[in-house]
A and B are shown apart, each in its own frame.
Chain A
Amino acid sequence: MDTKWKKRKAKISFICYFLGLSLLLGSVLNIVWLWKGEGFSWQKLGAVFEHELFAEGKEDYQKKDSFREEICSRLEIFLTMATGGAFSGTYVGNRFVPNRVNVTLQVTEDGSGFVWEKGTDAYIIGNITQIRPEESTVGEITDENGVAYYDFGVWSQDAWLYLDNWEEYLEKGDYTSGEKAAFRDQRKRLEEEWKEAAQEYHETIRGDKNLLYGIYNEGNLLYTNMSGNQAQDLLNWDRLDADLGAGRIPALPEGYNFLLCFAGGKVHIYKDGLELNVYGDGYYREESDWFVPGYTNFPVDEAYDQVRIYMAAAKEPVLYTEGRYGGNYYQLECPFYWMSLESTTFPAEMQFFLILLGISLLFLLAALVMKKSRKAAARAIASVTGKLWIEIKVLFWIDILGLFFGWMHLANQIAYGYNYSWKDKNVTVLALILLFWLLYLSWNELRYLGKEVFLQGITARLIRLFSVRELKLPLARRLMRRNFRLFLCAAVPGGLMSVLLVVFMTVLSNQGGSSYYDRIWQRYLWLGILLFLLVFLLVLVICCYMARKNRQTVLDLEKLTDRISEIRDGKYEPDPAGEAGGKVREAAPPSDHDLCQAMTELEDIRSGIETAIEEQMKSERMKVELIANVSHDLKTPLTSIISYVQILKQEENLPEHVKDYVKILDEKSQRLKNMVQDVFTISKAASRELPVNIEVLDFGKLIRQTLADMDEEIQTSVVNFRTNLPAEPVMIRADGQRMYRVFQNLFQNAIKYSLEGSRVHVTLRQDGNLAVASVKNTSRMELKADVNYAERFTRGDESRTDGGSGLGLSIAQSFTEACGGQFLLETIADLFVVTVSFPVVEEER
């Protein structure tokens, strides 16, 4: 329940984070975009806040940059139309788009010729007066420096004819009177053309009554789109001049609040009954609002003194449609209408995004509160995305970056936002948000997976596939290296070959002929190369597959050898120590592994040994338990026997022979007691249940102490002890108490079974890093070569009548082994040799 809630919480927090950031990004981008488009001002910001929530806003479209630009460009066109200047236009669909022909003719910087610009074309020509009328091409023109210019077309002949001062050029030119007449004709024809174009334009725009206009020259009303009465009421040359001269505002038709008047080379603009300051300090600058003639640095020549232009803009533009009955109707362009439409949505739109911004901040706050859970979610996401190959990610990013540069024009839109449609903006914003989240994913992955990110990929996989670092077995390493060489054998020549082929073919197809047969040949060759590449790829894949199989086998081989070593070292447990949680080692690899059978069989052997050893241990334990129980049960009656023998011994009035019997009873009961104790000890030692207290001790001192302890026995015995013990300490690791018992038994044995008057040799020497102690004695009885004297209950004396339990040597052996030493018994003829050896401990102190 708890974990479920945690998971859910993680999801919720991440969704909050995701929505918050996405909305934040989207709203901020949109807001920036909108402001860029509108041009930021505090007033506009105020308008946004004053605007009623969720209501459609109205804003004065006449304050927009686009409105001013439209007005200025119209004025320019009207001025051209008024003076009959160069004017042309093209039809786009059924719409006439005006194209004022802008012609300039300037002397080049070095004064050698002229630069002539017509529209967007620019040409350099040598001497304008060299041009003859009707000359279609001028051809090569050489300047003073001998540099040749080329003339590219028929246009050059009428270059200056487009200029206002064309007559000057006509006079200047070295023309005959016939030629001059021809030029005049040509000019006249041009003027006719321009006039037609202007008329055409006028026809196109006259229907859009959002802008009322009147164009005069030299007292004549040339063009207007006002109807008769209106025109007579409003448009009157003298009245307009009088109004302007007196500083009065010229009359405006109803529903119109914007008026531009051009008179005497100056522009007057009135809006809502007030005159606007058009020229500022009189100089035109980049930031000036109105690009109109009349600035000190933007004058017009005298030809325009007699021009009057009247332009009135509607307060609330509407969409005009023209019906052409008998034909079809069409909508007029009405740019102001669309402007007003756009402008009305601005505050509302801005409000919308500001609200969105607020919501996004709320989401982010929620995400911040659940930061911990979000981390869990982020980690989960990283683990999912981390599964993707790094190569794919790298390729993807390279691609994305490429795309991003391709999106430069989208970026431009962000920077200069106007004149782009909604759709473009949304695409850009969405793309940016997407880009942000992709960046986030990459960053997230790096953060939580770190280096692991790079391990997930073909390259890393290949490296791991052929890596020998984790292999210990020399054979395994060799096999893996062979694998790698095999792979190289396929990859290197194949790779080189394919690169060569592709380069060769590219060169061939660039240079080869392009006849039909050549093309056929090339096609087949390309097909062949493609086939080769496919086969090459297939070979590589097969190589990798086999390498993987081989690696699996090699790893199994390592496991197998490890397991064999373990078994050799006596580890039969199925679960090797150190593995946590008691996880059982997998008994055998999956059956598709090559070494499956070997491993399964080894496992069988292991479990067989394990069972056998367990059985053995069990029976050993049972034996010990049995002996322990028996010896315990023996002890109780023995206690009584000993007690009562003691009581009998203290009885005073016993006959001598009875005292003799009691003595025998006493001796035998004591012996029985010793035997019971020995049996108990030996059974414990045999079952390795003997507790030992291992410490570092001096082997030589131990033997000396034992000898000293038994001094009395030795002195009273029939044998002599000869000792050869080093004076310096020989340190070993053993249980002193147990080892004392070992040597006590050995010495007692020697005393008991040695030939009378013979010598017992006790020596200790250091042999390499082994401390070897030996006890040698000559047996009284003949020693049988085939008897193991350390075996339990074995004695030199078969009749078993002496005092020993027959366990002395056996105990000595068990104790030595329990302490980690080696116990060796040898018989050479009648010489009885026991060696006890321990590894020497390097002295630390």
Chain B
Amino acid sequence: MNECVLVVDDDREIVKAIRILLQREGYEVLEAYDGLQALDILSTRKVHLVLIDVMMPKLDGLSAILKIRERKNIPIIVLSAKSEDTDKVIGLSMGADDYVSKPYNPQELAARVKSQLRRYTSLGDINAGGQEGEIRNGRLTLRTEEHILYADGEPVKLTATETKIVELLMRNLGRIFPAEEIYRRVWEEEAFASENTVMVHIRRIREKLEINPKEPEYIKVVWGIGYKMEKKES
């Protein structure tokens, strides 16, 4: 059975575009044009993921999220024209799992939907409890014994050096590493002109594991200081 996605937006064209996009990816798509309608559908149909706009008539997105969260634990992605950091924080704190600002990149949206659904459906039970030899951070899981990184449960193809970098960052979530230190610990050589080398690797890693490498969520550059892996809630 295909996963069912509920798309809620007062702009019917956008809903339709998303429907086409997601149907191509093989999802069953339900449509709603305001918050109340969305709640109606949720109460009658089995839905695996909700894509919801913030500004809508009758019942706005944030209130709808609060209502949904009263009963359901399904992933919710907020879709909003507000792109400020504060708006994102509000959305996430209301109970949304992800936040995509308009105008969105269709591929990115599809990737995020896929990521959330994978984590919800196939990895739900794994997420429930940590396992030995695993470091988990958001959608990333590092199996330390095998030295394999999984994103949304799928292994990410990384080179040996990249794996070492990711391991270093994963083991020290939130800590900022200057390029010299990364170089010394990964290459095990004295650092010289390390900035470029490290940056190139970081960029490649980002391309492999971030949904949108231009706006990375996990591996971040702390400009003028170093690099770090952002700590995410599971």
- A residues lining the B interface (CB < 8 Å): 632, 635-636, 638-644, 646-647, 650, 673, 677, 680, 691, 695, 697-699, 701-702, 704-709, 711, 732, 734, 736-737, 739-740
The distance in angstroms between the C-alpha atoms of A196 and B17, with both chains bound, is 155
**In the complex, are the beta carbons of B17 and A709 less than 8 A apart?**
no
- Closest CB-CB distance, A175 to chain B, in whole Å? 138
Q: A677-B83, A680-B83 are in contact. List 16 more A-B contacts (CB 8 A).
A: A635-B102, A635-B103, A638-B102, A643-B21, A644-B13, A647-B20, A695-B225, A697-B222, A704-B195, A707-B196, A708-B195, A708-B196, A708-B199, A709-B199, A736-B223, A736-B224
- Closest CB-CB distance, A630 to chain B, in whole Å? 12
**In the complex, are the beta carbons of B107 and A646 less than 8 A apart?**
yes
**In the complex, are the beta carbons of B21 and A639 less than 8 A apart?**
no
**In the complex, are the beta carbons of A644 and B195 less than 8 A apart?**
no
**In the complex, are the beta carbons of A706 and B223 less than 8 A apart?**
yes
Q: Cβ of B223: which chain A residues have Cβ within 8 Å of it?
A: 697, 702, 705-706, 736-737, 739-740
Q: Does B145 contact A (CB under 8 A)?
A: no
**In the complex, are the beta carbons of B195 and A635 less than 8 A apart?**
no
The distance in angstroms between the C-alpha atoms of A307 and B222, with both chains bound, is 134
**In the complex, are the beta carbons of B17 and A640 less than 8 A apart?**
yes
Assess A640 versus B224: contact at CB under 8 Å? Given A646-B21, A646-B107, A650-B24: no
**In the complex, are the beta carbons of A636 and B224 less than 8 A apart?**
no
**In the complex, are the beta carbons of B224 and A699 less than 8 A apart?**
yes
**In the complex, are the beta carbons of A639 and B103 less than 8 A apart?**
yes
Contact of A635 among B81, B105, B222 (CB under 8 A): B81
The distance in angstroms between the C-alpha atoms of A638 and B17, with both chains bound, is 12
Question: In the complex, which of the residues A639, A646, A680, A704 has the most CB atoms of chain B within 10 Å of its own CB atom?
Answer: A639
Q: Cβ of A673: which chain B residues have Cβ within 8 Å of it?
A: 103
Contact of A691 among B18, B24, B85, B105 (CB under 8 A): B85
**In the complex, are the beta carbons of A705 and B224 less than 8 A apart?**
yes
Q: Cβ of A701: which chain B residues have Cβ within 8 Å of it?
A: 178-179, 195, 224-226
Q: Cβ of B203: which chain A residues have Cβ within 8 Å of it?
A: 709
Q: Cβ of A705: which chain B residues have Cβ within 8 Å of it?
A: 179, 195, 199, 221, 223-224
Q: Cβ of A695: which chain B residues have Cβ within 8 Å of it?
A: 225
Q: Cβ of B105: which chain A residues have Cβ within 8 Å of it?
A: 642
> B183-234: which have CB < 8 Å to A?
195-196, 198-200, 203, 221-226
Q: Does B41 contact A (CB under 8 A)?
A: no
Q: Cβ of B199: which chain A residues have Cβ within 8 Å of it?
A: 705, 708-709, 711
Q: Cβ of B103: which chain A residues have Cβ within 8 Å of it?
A: 635, 638-639, 641-642, 673
- Closest CB-CB distance, B57 to chain A, in whole Å? 14
Q: Does B14 contact A (CB under 8 A)?
A: yes
Q: Cβ of B222: which chain A residues have Cβ within 8 Å of it?
A: 697, 736
Q: Does B11 contact A (CB under 8 A)?
A: yes
Q: Cβ of B13: which chain A residues have Cβ within 8 Å of it?
A: 640, 643-644
- Closest CB-CB distance, A229 to chain B, in whole Å? 131
**Contact sample, A vs B, 14 pairs, CB 8 Å cutoff:** A636-B102, A638-B102, A639-B14, A640-B14, A699-B224, A701-B179, A701-B225, A704-B196, A705-B199, A705-B223, A708-B200, A709-B199, A736-B225, A737-B223
Q: Can you list the 9 inter-chain pairs with the closest CB atoms, starting with the nearest?
A: A697-B224, A736-B223, A708-B199, A702-B224, A643-B17, A646-B106, A639-B103, A704-B195, A740-B223
Contact of A643 among B81, B83, B106, B195 (CB under 8 A): B106
Report the contact-size class of chain B (Cβ under 8 Å from the partner): 20 to 34
The distance in angstroms between the C-alpha atoms of A699 and B224, with both chains bound, is 6
The distance in angstroms between the C-alpha atoms of A457 and B124, with both chains bound, is 85
- Closest CB-CB distance, B104 to chain A, in whole Å? 7
- Closest CB-CB distance, B187 to chain A, in whole Å? 16
The distance in angstroms between the C-alpha atoms of A639 and B20, with both chains bound, is 14
Q: Does B157 contact A (CB under 8 A)?
A: no
> B25-64: which have CB < 8 Å to A?
none
**In the complex, are the beta carbons of A636 and B21 less than 8 A apart?**
no
Contact of B221 among A635, A677, A680, A709 (CB under 8 A): A709
- Closest CB-CB distance, A397 to chain B, in whole Å? 71
**In the complex, are the beta carbons of B200 and A647 less than 8 A apart?**
no
- Closest CB-CB distance, A162 to chain B, in whole Å? 125
Contact of A640 among B11, B83, B226 (CB under 8 A): B11
The distance in angstroms between the C-alpha atoms of A322 and B178, with both chains bound, is 130
Q: Cβ of B67: which chain A residues have Cβ within 8 Å of it?
A: none
Q: Does B171 contact A (CB under 8 A)?
A: no
The distance in angstroms between the C-alpha atoms of A650 and B195, with both chains bound, is 39
- Closest CB-CB distance, B21 to chain A, in whole Å? 7
Q: Does B82 contact A (CB under 8 A)?
A: yes
Q: Cβ of B195: which chain A residues have Cβ within 8 Å of it?
A: 701, 704-705, 707-708
**In the complex, are the beta carbons of A636 and B107 less than 8 A apart?**
no
The distance in angstroms between the C-alpha atoms of A611 and B7, with both chains bound, is 49
Q: Which residue of A lies closest to B102 (CB)?
A: A639
- Closest CB-CB distance, A665 to chain B, in whole Å? 14
Q: Cβ of B85: which chain A residues have Cβ within 8 Å of it?
A: 691
- Closest CB-CB distance, B100 to chain A, in whole Å? 10
Q: Cβ of A632: which chain B residues have Cβ within 8 Å of it?
A: 81-82
User: Residue-by-residue, is B123-165 near A (CB-CB < 8 Å gives 1, otherwise 0)?
Assistant: 0000000000000000000000000000000000000000000
**In the complex, are the beta carbons of B200 and A711 less than 8 A apart?**
yes
Assess A711 versus B224: contact at CB under 8 Å? Given A639-B14, A646-B21, A673-B103: no
The distance in angstroms between the C-alpha atoms of A734 and B102, with both chains bound, is 29
Q: Cβ of B21: which chain A residues have Cβ within 8 Å of it?
A: 643, 646-647
- Closest CB-CB distance, A494 to chain B, in whole Å? 74
Q: Cβ of A635: which chain B residues have Cβ within 8 Å of it?
A: 81, 102-103
The distance in angstroms between the C-alpha atoms of A709 and B178, with both chains bound, is 15
Q: Cβ of A642: which chain B residues have Cβ within 8 Å of it?
A: 103-106
- Closest CB-CB distance, A694 to chain B, in whole Å? 11
Q: Cβ of B24: which chain A residues have Cβ within 8 Å of it?
A: 650
Assess A740 versus B81: contact at CB under 8 Å? Given A639-B102, A643-B21: no
**In the complex, are the beta carbons of A698 and B221 less than 8 A apart?**
no
Contact of A734 among B11, B18, B198, B224 (CB under 8 A): B224
The distance in angstroms between the C-alpha atoms of A647 and B18, with both chains bound, is 9
**In the complex, are the beta carbons of A647 and B224 less than 8 A apart?**
no
- Closest CB-CB distance, B192 to chain A, in whole Å? 10
**In the complex, are the beta carbons of A698 and B102 less than 8 A apart?**
no
**In the complex, are the beta carbons of B14 and A698 less than 8 A apart?**
no
- Closest CB-CB distance, B39 to chain A, in whole Å? 23
Q: Cβ of B221: which chain A residues have Cβ within 8 Å of it?
A: 705, 709, 740
Q: Which residue of B lies closest to A703 (CB)?
A: B224
Q: Cβ of A709: which chain B residues have Cβ within 8 Å of it?
A: 199, 203, 221
Q: Cβ of A706: which chain B residues have Cβ within 8 Å of it?
A: 223
**In the complex, are the beta carbons of B225 and A647 less than 8 A apart?**
no
Question: In the complex, which of the residues A642, A691, A708, A734 has the most CB atoms of chain B within 10 Å of its own CB atom?
Answer: A708
- Closest CB-CB distance, B225 to chain A, in whole Å? 5
The distance in angstroms between the C-alpha atoms of A329 and B179, with both chains bound, is 133
The distance in angstroms between the C-alpha atoms of A328 and B13, with both chains bound, is 141
Q: Cβ of B104: which chain A residues have Cβ within 8 Å of it?
A: 639, 642-643
The distance in angstroms between the C-alpha atoms of A31 and B208, with both chains bound, is 108
Q: Which residue of B lies closest to A739 (CB)?
A: B223
Q: Which residue of A lies closest to B180 (CB)?
A: A701
- Closest CB-CB distance, B51 to chain A, in whole Å? 12
Q: Which residue of B lies closest to A730 (CB)?
A: B224
The distance in angstroms between the C-alpha atoms of A705 and B203, with both chains bound, is 11
Q: Cβ of A639: which chain B residues have Cβ within 8 Å of it?
A: 11, 14, 81, 102-104
Q: Which residue of B lies closest to A741 (CB)?
A: B223
Q: Cβ of B83: which chain A residues have Cβ within 8 Å of it?
A: 677, 680
